[in-house]
Chains A and B, each alone.
Chain A
């Protein structure tokens, strides 16, 4: 890129980094200092446009920036030092990569002359992050810093989003170079994949197939949320009157309280969603990828007489696990707009209303199976009841965000909390990273300071990033932690019960801390809840503490399992039911 000197300024590499971030409009950078990034931290300190959030472990910096991105549609930004700073960040980066979260991670590197010398705190960052990033860069020249950062934001936020790492050696942050932050960049090997206009005939074909359906299902995933296509999806589903189901990542993409919603599908999806998915004759898949936790065994899922339409921005997601009949590559929102436009010109959109009515009757029959039922009269706290109460008591609030960790509590939250809006349900779907819940809470609460942020977790997951209680204190983040404490790694225990003849190898959580005292020692409020009759009062109490982080430790039934369950390798309709 040729630049006239009129537009460039001479700055040190370190000065360029906060400057680039503020020129990009970045609000927060989550990070942790260290030797290789000291010059950058020195410059961060001298400005006030970009606010740095100091976490207690680099993994949490990435998770917090990731949750900030998921809950806002902005790119999440993190800054870590070389070596262990990077290796600690890897879990966070891989988590964001698996769920297609737009992020830019700036990593310090040892000086250029020391690279390859096994220098102190040296790691091959580009090499070690390569399999879990959308792209990465090693900047070798100070003049390239700003343009590389711009490229990173461009790649992270366009197409199928993902994390991008920019590795910057220390020596180039201390020398001066030309600064120019471009408004846009073009990357020849990347931009040529975008903006392919979907052929009008393909839209006609989709509409025709949808109209001819007798047993239709609309199945949508995280792509609807990332492309902000929830309104378009709602109009499409409402216009057709067809049943809609969401993946774990797609919850909130279609209103959870809508009568056309079948609930989540997949390994712990509802009976009705899984049965409908298995038996439908026309399946419209939108921004979803037919993964193993969603459709189970692809051989079992296959049906000769089912037509599949698949809309996704990533061509490699199409016909990867399931062969589809109508592949449509492009932005979900744009394509849904065109389908809706076409449908608006048609008066009787559904060609077989009687068949569709019969299909709904069949679905009602499946719904009557009441697959999420549990013992509501239990003397011991049932985890499902906690989530139900939590939903009841927060459903009327305008802005509620729920983050979760990974395991049984995550599935109960997904099943029992009804998300009517996108970007309100923040969890690790693809990588299934225990420990994300609390740092996710940090990122969401910072992005939405006046909103209620609930972190649904378990006593095993929360301990993986428990140190972030300190960060929450420093920045006065009033997250409400809902700890479903069953003294077991619950999902591990469940699999051991089902598939390992009740041998609970290493899944019992011995020597647990007193979570109430732990929360208090970090300066927060802790409450222990042991009786079902106390659930509501405790949640009300926590919600009333607007300025404080409240840690609710619910002592729950150790034997409760998540139902329905599609065992690994089985077909979607081969569920274990309660």
Chain B
């Protein structure tokens, strides 16, 4: 019964209550499950939050993860987005040094190529924003000259099912 680890994106609707996030985070650490990223925010219904968890594990482990999540009293419903077609996006904010014109020209080219945006220019720095799949962000970062990166921050992935795949409650 060989079974290799695979990546899963789980979307969770849960009660928007204090402590709900730590119940989820605590579950992952207590049971030793992997957690690559976790994002959460309220939705149009202020009584609930929607969470996207990126995890990896064998089919058995991922089945346990979804069962254990469902067992949490605050969890209303969930879906494993990787079971079907879906879209994932994450956000990158990167602060770059613009002292060198040559390097700056190269950055401008990359920003155009990847559909990124300049958000701020101050104190000899640029802040660039890029939204995309994790791999698109990785590809972009690969091409940025490391010597101009001052700092960067990435959110985890947010995911949503395509077409009629709707996580309703």
Chains A and B come from one and the same complex: yes
Q: How distant is the Cα of A323 from the Cα of B22 in the complex, in angstroms?
A: 30
Additional 5 contacts, C-beta under 8 A, given A134-B73, A316-B70: A130-B22, A189-B76, A316-B68, A323-B1, A323-B60
Q: Is the CB of A127 within 8 A of B22?
A: yes
Q: Would you call B35 an interface residue if the criterion is a C-beta within 8 Å of the partner chain's C-beta atoms?
A: no
Residues of B71-86 at the interface with A, using a CB-CB cut-off of 8 Å, are 71, 73-77
**Per-residue 0/1 for A302-337: is the Cβ within 8 Å of any B Cβ (1 yes, 0 no)?**
000000000000111001100100000000000000
List residues of chain A with CB under 8 Å of any chain B CB.
126-127, 130-131, 134-135, 138, 155, 187-190, 192-193, 314-316, 319-320, 323
**Per-residue 0/1 for B1-29: is the Cβ within 8 Å of any A Cβ (1 yes, 0 no)?**
10000000000001100110011001000
Q: How distant is the Cα of A474 from the Cα of B96 in the complex, in angstroms?
A: 74
Q: How far is the CB of B54 from chain A (nearest CB, A)?
A: 21
Q: Is the CB of B71 within 8 A of A314?
A: yes
Question: Can you list 16 A-B pairs, Cβ within 8 angstroms, ordered by A?
Answer: A126-B19, A127-B22, A130-B19, A130-B22, A130-B23, A134-B73, A138-B19, A190-B73, A192-B76, A315-B70, A315-B71, A316-B64, A316-B67, A316-B70, A319-B60, A323-B60
Q: How far is the CB of A407 from chain B (nearest CB, A)?
A: 27
Q: Is the CB of A130 within 8 A of B26?
A: yes
Q: How distant is the Cα of A127 from the Cα of B21 in the complex, in angstroms?
A: 12
List residues of chain B with CB under 8 Å of any chain A CB.
1, 14-15, 18-19, 22-23, 26, 30, 60, 63-64, 67-68, 70-71, 73-77, 169
Q: Which residues of A contact B1 (CB under 8 A)?
A: 323
Among A131, A188, A189, A192, the one with the most B-chain Cβ atoms within 10 Å of its Cβ is A189
Q: How distant is the Cα of A314 from the Cα of B68 in the complex, in angstroms?
A: 10
In chain B, what residue has the closest Cβ to A320? Answer: B64
Q: How far is the CB of A433 from chain B (nearest CB, A)?
A: 19
In-complex Cβ contact of A131 among B15, B26, B63, B75 (8 A): B26
Q: Which residues of A contact B63 (CB under 8 A)?
A: 319
In chain B, what residue has the closest Cβ to A131? Answer: B30
A127-B22, A131-B30, A320-B64 known; A189-B75 Cβ under 8 A: yes
Q: How distant is the Cα of A188 from the Cα of B75 in the complex, in angstroms?
A: 9
Q: How distant is the Cα of A184 from the Cα of B70 in the complex, in angstroms?
A: 22
Q: Which residues of A contact B14 (CB under 8 A)?
A: 189
Q: How far is the CB of B42 from chain A (nearest CB, A)?
A: 15
Q: Which residues of A contact B26 (CB under 8 A)?
A: 130-131
Q: How distant is the Cα of A320 from the Cα of B74 in the complex, in angstroms?
A: 22
Q: Is the CB of B73 within 8 A of A188?
A: no
Q: Is the CB of A189 within 8 A of B74?
A: yes
Q: Which residues of B contact A127 (CB under 8 A)?
A: 22
Q: Which residues of A contact B60 (CB under 8 A)?
A: 319, 323
Q: Which residues of B contact A130 (CB under 8 A)?
A: 19, 22-23, 26
Q: Is the CB of A315 within 8 A of B67?
A: yes
A127-B22, A130-B23, A323-B1 known; A189-B64 Cβ under 8 A: no
> Top 10 closest A-B pairs, CB basis?
A316-B67, A189-B76, A135-B73, A315-B67, A190-B73, A131-B30, A316-B68, A316-B71, A130-B26, A189-B15
Q: Which residues of A contact B70 (CB under 8 A)?
A: 193, 315-316
Q: How distant is the Cα of A189 from the Cα of B60 in the complex, in angstroms?
A: 24
Q: How distant is the Cα of A353 from the Cα of B77 in the complex, in angstroms?
A: 47
Q: Is the CB of A187 within 8 A of B73?
A: yes
In chain A, what residue has the closest Cβ to B13? Answer: A189
Q: How distant is the Cα of A9 from the Cα of B22 in the complex, in angstroms?
A: 35
Q: Which residues of A contact B77 (CB under 8 A)?
A: 192
